[in-house]
């Protein structure tokens, strides 16, 4: 590594460390955040701060008695009641305040710290529609419904405007599954709803942290939506964003987290949608805040049929729900998506049918992949072996031509390659063909729900990092821990690079770059799932084994003899140069002429 490169890397490291201390929060900010986090935790456990309790108790008493005689009468004041619908998979708690779904607990799953998995609850969740009465706009989220019919899996909540005018919310939960039906049926309320019978729904939720790594959970959480008879799209995962969808109907809107989703589906389609996602970066309890303002038309019977999905982002399970909900699972972009969906995922599902430990499944998956790619690995090794055999002759050319004329040096190298019948890119092309698959796994494992909470060896959860060392403060790039599997993967990559350099004869800058790259990836992958780093580690170890076997089959002496035989053959004048070779030679010729003009 030359002095300039070393100086640049040192300055980058200095800026990163300095920036960390410059943006470090003050003691006052830390104190405020601690108080806010404690208040949020208390609210989540059902304990409200004293001030909040007082406000909640006093609120009904401050209602003007005249308001009780106005629009919606007694519905403007009251005390919220909770009604529970429950099946084998989900527990849904409804509130008479707003007639909303107040909280959802998924029974078969736990948070990373083994607590009940509640998707959302409390005041951070709202659901309502706007109606106009007596010249005033009322949002049903602030009004009190009354249960008029209830059974084990069905309940009707009614918001009364008058004895003959009301809105019914009918919730129905099947004996199993993650779907909750909601039918909104207004009776003699068309004049209040207006908009030609189009209902304006306001839905918002603050989604609770479920996973170990808040940063990664936020990277996979945002608002998704499906255009009717069209693609599934989403808002930004990294920034706050708002978007109005008015030119096309929307089939569903999803408040998606990393491994779980809250989806609202319209059977008639939403006429328009105004969507928003935001992040409270100071919060350690909630991942993101999501909001959707939706306009929905009634069906032929005069009702507004809706459907919720509260459940895991497991590809096959989402696919079974219909409506293309599986498109929320991030399988990558472009060709990566198709590799994961139509090649990797089917193989993974086939192996999963054996009920093996997921560590074993990843091992078998890696072996199968290496076997399929073994012809490319062999060609790459063979090409590097040819270049290694040619290196003494290349050194002779370098000594004769000198290093002060790189264009002429490359021209002489090309002549040697041509005579010897060697493709200098032969070792790179097979590796490039493998890169899409390697990158596809980079998207596959972080999105794979099946790894969540699954252990293997010392790794307690293959869907997140396996910290062997942790510390309090966050260091730029590295974070607040060191992942053992990421460390093993990096060490194996450095060893692989060392042996690869011996095979290819790499020297100079290329040699150092080969060692720097794994260290950069260590910083990138340190917080990624242990399952992903485990795969990369296995891939390195299996490559070692492949190269050892190939080395036993490849004889350098035979390669050298073949090269000398090719060099001795007279050049065929009728043989047409490849387009790449012709362009490369022309480019070098022009560079040589330009250098001569400068002289």
Q: Are 328 and 318 in contact (CB under 8 A)?
A: yes
Q: In sequence order, what E strands does 484-552 have?
A: none
Retrieve residue 563's tokens: 């090269």
Bridge-based pairing of strands 136-139 and 126-133 is antiparallel
Torsion of CA 493, 498, 503, 509, to 10 degrees: 100
**Cβ atoms of 450 and 529 closer than 8 Å:** no
Closest CA to 384 of 550, 516, 514, 541: 550
Burial of 243 (0-12, 13-18, 19+ CB in 10 A): middle
> pLDDT at position 24, please?
46
Confidence of residue 578 (pLDDT cuts 50, 70, 90): low
pLDDT at 110 over 90: yes
Provide the pLDDT for residue 598: 57
Question: Which tokens belong to 438?
Answer: 């390697």
Are 253 and 225 spatial neighbours (Cβ–Cβ below 8 Å)? yes
Q: Which residue has the tokens 């000198």?
A: 402
511-546 per-position pLDDT tens digit: 677 778 888 889 889 999 999 999 999 998 998 888
pLDDT of residue 457: 94
Query: Is residue 439 scored above 50 in pLDDT?
Result: yes
Query: What are the tokens at 492?
Result: 């194996």
Q: Does residue 29 have a pLDDT over 70?
A: no
* Residue ranges, CATH 2.70.98.90, the chain: 81-329
Look at residues 306, 9, 339 and name the one whose alpha carbon lies nearest to residue 179: 306
pLDDT for the residue numbered 10: 41
For tokens 């409506």, the residue is: 323
According to DSSP H, which parts of 258-357 are helical? Answer: 315-321, 335-339, 345-352
C-beta separation of 262 from 255 below 8 A? yes
pLDDT tens-digit profile of 131-176?
A: 887 777 888 999 999 999 888 889 999 999 888 889 999 999 999 9
The highest-confidence range among 15-29, 137-151, 445-459, by mean pLDDT, is: 445-459
Tell me if 462 sits within 8 A of 454, measured CB to CB: yes
Tracing tokens 């590799």 back to the chain, one arrives at 339
C-alpha to C-alpha distance for 96 and 104, rounded to whole angstroms: 15
CA distance 67 to 76: 8
Residue 417: is its pLDDT beyond 80? no
pTM value is: 0.77
Q: Give the C-alpha distances (Å, rounded to integers) separating 542 from 23, 343, 539.
A: 43, 20, 5
The HSE-up count of residue 357 (CA atoms within 13 Å, CB side) is: 12
Residue 144 host element (H or E):
none
**d(C-alpha 461, C-alpha 455), whole Å:** 5
Secondary structure string (H, E, C) spanning 181-221 = EEEEEEECCHHHHCHHHCEEEEEEEEEECCCCCHHHHHHCC
pLDDT above 50 (res 267): yes
Residue 583 has pLDDT above 90, yes or no: no
CA distance 288 to 279: 5
d(CA 92, CA 86): 6
Residue 260: phi and psi, rounded to 5, are -140, 155
| Mean pLDDT, the chain, integer | 81
73-87, 206-220, 263-277, 298-312: range with lowest mean pLDDT: 73-87
Rg (CA), the chain: 32
Whether 522 and 494 have beta carbons less than 8 Å apart is answered as no
Q: How far apart are CA 441 and CA 444, in angstroms?
A: 5
Return d(Cα 379, Cα 406) in angstroms, integer.
28
297 beta partners: none
Name the burial class of residue 292, with classes exposed (0-12), middle (13-18) and buried (19+) by CB atoms within 10 angstroms of its CB. buried
Count of residues in the chain: 599
> Which pLDDT band, with edges at 50, 70 and 90, does 558 fall under?
confident
Chain position carrying tokens 């092309």: 429
Q: How far apart are CA 221 and CA 212, in angstroms?
A: 14
pLDDT of residue 101: 95
Residue with token string 């799953």? 109
- Number of other CB atoms surrounding residue 209 within 10 Å: 20
Ramachandran sector of residue 195 (left: φ over 0; alpha: ψ -120 to 50; beta: rest): left
Q: How confident is the model at residue 591 (pLDDT cuts 50, 70, 90)?
A: low
pLDDT level of residue 250 (50, 70, 90 thresholds): very high
Instruction: Decide if pLDDT at 51 tops 70.
Output: no
The top-level CATH class assigned to 81-329 is mainly beta
Spell 2-17 as b/e; 16+ CB within 10 A means b.
eeeeeeeeeeeeeeee
Residue 100 pLDDT class (50, 70, 90 cuts): very high
Tell me which residue of 200, 54, 89 sits closest to 137, measured CA to CA: 200
Consecutive H or E run containing 31:
helix 27-44
Contact assessment for residue 443 and residue 332, using Cβ atoms and an 8 Å cutoff: yes
Strand partners, 106: 90, 117
Helices (H), strands (E): how many in the chain?
Answer: 17, 20
């Amino acid at each position: 590594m030359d002095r300039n490169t070393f100086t640049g890397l040192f300055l980058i490291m200095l800026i990163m460390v300095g920036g960390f201390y410059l943006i470090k929060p003050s003691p006052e900010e830390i104190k405020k955040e601690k108080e806010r986090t404690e208040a949020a935790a208390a609210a989540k456990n059902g304990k409200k701060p004293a001030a909040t309790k007082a406000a909640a108790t006093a609120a009904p008493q401050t209602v003007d008695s005249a308001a009780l005689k106005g629009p919606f009468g007694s519905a403007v004041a009251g005390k919220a009641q909770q009604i529970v619908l429950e099946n084998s998979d989900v527990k849904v708690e409804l509130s008479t305040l707003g007639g909303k779904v107040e909280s959802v607990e998924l029974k078969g799953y736990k948070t990373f710290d083994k607590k009940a998995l509640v998707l959302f609850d409390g005041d951070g969740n709202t659901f309502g529609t706007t109606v106009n009465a007596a010249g005033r706009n009322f949002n049903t989220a602030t009004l009190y419904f009354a249960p008029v019919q209830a059974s084990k899996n069905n309940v009707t909540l009614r918001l009364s405007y008058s004895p003959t005018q009301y809105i019914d919310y009918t919730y129905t939960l099947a004996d199993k599954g993650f779907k909750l039906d909601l039918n909104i049926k207004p009776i003699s309320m068309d004049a209040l709803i207006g908009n030609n019978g189009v209902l304006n729904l306001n839905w918002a939720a603050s989604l609770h942290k479920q996973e170990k790594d808040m940063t990664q959970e936020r990277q996979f959480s945002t608002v998704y939506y499906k255009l009717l008879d069209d693609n599934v799209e989403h808002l930004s995962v990294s920034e706050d964003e708002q978007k109005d969808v008015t030119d096309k109907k929307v089939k569903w809107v999803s408040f998606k987290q990393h491994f779980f989703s809250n989806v609202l589906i319209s059977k008639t389609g939403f006429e328009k949608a105004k969507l928003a996602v935001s992040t409270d970066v100071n919060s350690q309890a909630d991942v993101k805040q999501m909001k959707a303002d939706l306009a929905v038309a009634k069906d032929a019977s005069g009702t507004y049929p809706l459907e919720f999905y509260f459940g895991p982002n497991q590809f096959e399970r989402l696919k079974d729900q219909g409506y293309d909900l599986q498109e929320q699972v991030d399988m990558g972009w472009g060709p990566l998506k198709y590799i994961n969906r139509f090649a990797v995922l089917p193989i993974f599902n086939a192996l999963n049918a054996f009920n093996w430990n997921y560590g074993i499944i990843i091992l078998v998956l890696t072996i199968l992949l290496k076997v399929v790619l073994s012809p490319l690995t062999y060609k790459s090794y063979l090409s590097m072996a040819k270049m290694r055999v040619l290196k003494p002759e290349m050194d002779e050319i370098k000594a004769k031509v000198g290093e002060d004329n790189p264009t002429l040096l490359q021209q002489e190298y090309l002549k040697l390659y041509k005579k010897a019948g060697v493709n200098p890119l032969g070792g790179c092309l097979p590796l490039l063909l493998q890169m899409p698959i390697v990158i596809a796994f980079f998207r596959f494992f972080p999105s794979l729900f099946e790894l969540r909470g699954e252990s293997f060896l010392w790794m307690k959860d293959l869907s997140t990092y396996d910290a062997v060392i942790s510390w309090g403060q966050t260091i730029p790039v590295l974070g607040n821990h060191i992942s053992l599997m990421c460390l093993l993967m990096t060490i194996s990559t450095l060893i692989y690079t060392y042996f690869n350099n011996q095979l290819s004869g790499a020297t100079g800058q290329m040699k150092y770059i080969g060692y720097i790259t794994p260290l950069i990836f260590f910083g990138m992958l340190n917080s990624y799932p242990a399952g992903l780093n485990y795969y990369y580690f296995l891939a390195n170890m299996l490559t070692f084994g492949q190269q050892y076997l190939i080395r036993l089959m490849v004889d350098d002496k035979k390669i050298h003899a073949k090269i000398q035989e090719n060099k001795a053959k007279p050049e065929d004048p009728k043989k047409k140069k490849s387009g790449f070779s012709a362009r490369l030679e022309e480019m070098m010729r022009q560079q040589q002429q330009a250098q001569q003009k400068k002289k």
